[in-house]
Amino acid sequence: MNKLVSFFKESWNEVANEVTWPKWGELQSSATLVLVASLIFALVVGAIDFLIDNSLRLLYQSI
């Protein structure tokens, strides 16, 4: 049990005093970048899905 308590104390000390946290502006920039990249990815996947769906419908209708 002593090792577990020691682990949590050392972990808290590491997070509170040793980690360099990004500034608020950097976080906003990163969040914006992730949002834009996610939207682009969603649009590309949606377009591919649309093309494959319509291609298969056309193929099945022609058979």
pLDDT in tens, 1-32: 899 999 999 999 999 998 898 999 999 999 99
Could you give the 3-state DSSP secondary structure of residue 5? helix
Residue 52 belongs to some domain of the structure: yes
Number of separate domains in the chain: 1
Least confident of 14-18, 24-28, 38-42, 44-48: 14-18
Residue 44 belongs to some domain of the structure: yes
Distance CA 37, CA 60 (A): 34
Residue 50 belongs to some domain of the structure: yes
Distance CA 22, CA 44 (A): 31
Residue 7 belongs to some domain of the structure: no
Residue 15 CA: distances (Å) to CA of 2, 4, 9, 12, 43: 20, 17, 10, 5, 38
Residue 43 belongs to some domain of the structure: yes
pLDDT of residue 46: 98
Tokens matching residue 1: 């049990």
Domain extent, residue 48, equals 39-63
Distance CA 38, CA 31 (A): 10
Indicate if the pLDDT at residue 49 is higher than 90: yes
pTM to 2 decimal places: 0.66
pLDDT of residue 63: 82
Residue 16 belongs to some domain of the structure: no
Residue 61 belongs to some domain of the structure: yes
